[in-house]
Amino acid sequence: MTIPTSATWLEDAWQQGVSKTIRNAKRIKDTFPHISVQGVYDKNDPEWWTAGFWPGLLWLVYRAAPESEAAPSLRRINDSCERQLEGCLRDPDSVDHDLGFIWLLSGVVSYRQTGSEDGRRRGLLAANLLAARFHVRGQFIRAWNFSSSMMDTRGVAIMDSMMNLPLLYWASEQSGDPRFRWLAEAHADTVAREFVRADGSVCHVVEFDPHTGQKLREHGGQGHAPGSAWARGTAWALYGFALSFRYTGEARYLGTAERTADFFLAMLGEDIVPLWDFRAPAEHQVAWDSSAAAITASGLLELAKLSPRGHIYAAAGERIVRGLYEHYSSGELAAEEGLIMQGTVHYPEGRGINVPIIYGDYFYMEALAKLRGSEGLF
Ligand code: GLY
């Protein structure tokens, strides 16, 4: 399935995203934005799981025009971000399973784009820390370190983890050591079995007994409740399983990616942006998640290259990206730094509701880059 599209809307959307990102870089510099509040991106800690998306966004823009006037300053910003992120690797308490999100979009892309040995070294260090989170008895990667009265996080895995596995696949390719890949596959198999339901919906959080590894219970997490269908979790599943298939060639991952993608598309219908949870009760149908739409669009464009039904996923991915551009982008609006509007971070905790989010922007631009014929960064 070939994807590259040449269309006026696509070039307009890409150029608009590039211009705004270059403008934003002059203010945001080497800090770590998460959500845009009243038009201005906040500053987050480099430890937070979202810290890779700003460097990743800058790498997408850099890669498309490495000789441009802006390119040297984008490189400098990314070098500084990467050095700050490396600081976190020295404190095991500050790193979670999100090392893939962070390092695939910083050190690893820096190595791939420029041959940076520092990027490769840091990426491999991050992969080792991620591998060390593997729970042998439960065959999953532990998600978080924090203590909680709601659950024992020593035994917790979450859906988002599927996007972190490419760091392990990459580490096996780089080092020639297959252990990273075996761990990633073992985790993916656990997630496919314990998180993905027969109808293609997924749960966000599963708690296992930290001593025996037996599954204890589901938690709603960022979704409404156990049994509901958090939209972004579904997006992580369809993109993450597509990536596991791409890296391993194991057909079972393709089947899971297709099942979750089919569920997302059936629930989305003619819409572009889903509710934050496909099964949110009527009184909570007040928040939407454009980041789930952007992740899904980019994931579908990945699946389009892998699946015998690729033409369906390519058409759906393009429809969603175009819809984001035409109906959700902030466009030329100078008073808004975010690229796409109406994402939701964490509805149950009331955080970041109907706002631009940095990972929504990243995946929107990644999907546009794919439509223009480039690869994603995962
Ligand atoms: N927990 C990661 C996310 O919000 O998708």
Q: What is the 3-state secondary structure (H, E, C) of 106-174?
A: CHHHHHHHHCCHHHHHHHHHHHHHHHCCEECCCCEECCCCCCCCCCCHHHEEEHHHHHHHHHHHHHHHH
User: Cβ(184)–Cβ(139) under 8 Å?
Assistant: no
Q: Looking at residue 275, what is its pLDDT?
A: 98
User: Cβ(159)–Cβ(204) under 8 Å?
Assistant: yes
User: Cβ(158)–Cβ(143) under 8 Å?
Assistant: yes
Instruction: Choose, from 30, 96, 98, 361, the residue flagged as catalytic.
Output: 98
- Across the chain, which has 378 residues, the per-10-residue mean pLDDT values are 77 98 98 98 97 98 98 98 97 94 98 98 98 98 95 98 98 98 98 98 98 98 98 98 98 98 98 98 98 99 98 98 98 93 98 98 98 98
H/E segment holding residue 37: strand 36-37
User: Cβ(347)–Cβ(277) under 8 Å?
Assistant: yes
Q: Looking at residue 20, what is its pLDDT?
A: 98
Helices 358-371 and 8-28, packing angle to 10 deg: 140
pTM higher than 0.85: yes
Q: Looking at residue 178, what is its pLDDT?
A: 98
118 is catalytic: no
* Rounded-to-integer distance, Cα 222 and Cα 110, Å: 31
Q: Looking at residue 92, what is its pLDDT?
A: 86
Q: How buried is 361 (Cβ within 10 angstroms: 0-12 exposed, 13-18 middle, 19+ buried)?
A: buried
CA 93 to the chain's CA centroid: 22
At residue 103, φ and ψ (nearest 5 deg) are: -90, -25
Q: How would you classify the pairing of strands 205-208 and 215-219?
A: antiparallel
* Ligand 1 pocket test, candidate residues 48, 49, 158, 205, most atoms within 8 A of CB: 49
User: Cβ(274)–Cβ(290) under 8 Å?
Assistant: no
Q: Is 194 helix (H, G, I), strand (E, B) or coil?
A: helix
According to CATH, the topology of domain 8-371 is Glycosyltransferase (1.50.10)
Atom 1 of ligand 1, residue of closest alpha carbon: 160
DSSP bridge pairs for 202 = 196
Q: Where are the domains of the chain?
A: 8-371
Q: Looking at residue 1, what is its pLDDT?
A: 58
**Tokens, residue 170:** 């990459």
Atom 4 of ligand 1, residue of closest alpha carbon: 345
Backbone torsion region of residue 221, taken as left when φ is above 0, otherwise alpha when ψ lies between -120 and 50, otherwise beta: left
DSSP secondary structure letter of residue 297: H
In 3D, which of 101, 107, 100, 104 has the Cα closest to residue 86?
A: 107
DSSP 303-364: HTTTSTTHHHHHHHHHHHHHHIIIIIB-TT-TT---SB--B-SBTTTTBS-SB-BHHHHHHH
* Rounded-to-integer distance, Cα 314 and Cα 33, Å: 30
CA of 61 to the centre of ligand 1 (A): 24
User: Cβ(36)–Cβ(338) under 8 Å?
Assistant: yes
* Rounded-to-integer distance, Cα 195 and Cα 94, Å: 26
Q: How far is CA 367 from CA 4, 84, 194, 252, 360, in A?
A: 11, 27, 29, 25, 11
Instruction: Choose, from 12, 30, 93, 160, the residue flagged as catalytic.
Output: 160
* Rounded-to-integer distance, Cα 293 and Cα 357, Å: 12
Which are the contacts of 336, defined by CB distance < 8 A and separation ≥ 6?
Answer: 36, 39, 330, 356
177 is catalytic: no
Angle at 248 (CA atoms; ends 246, 254), nearest 5 degrees: 55
CA of 160 to the centre of ligand 1 (A): 6
Atom of ligand 1 at shortest distance to CA of 221?
1
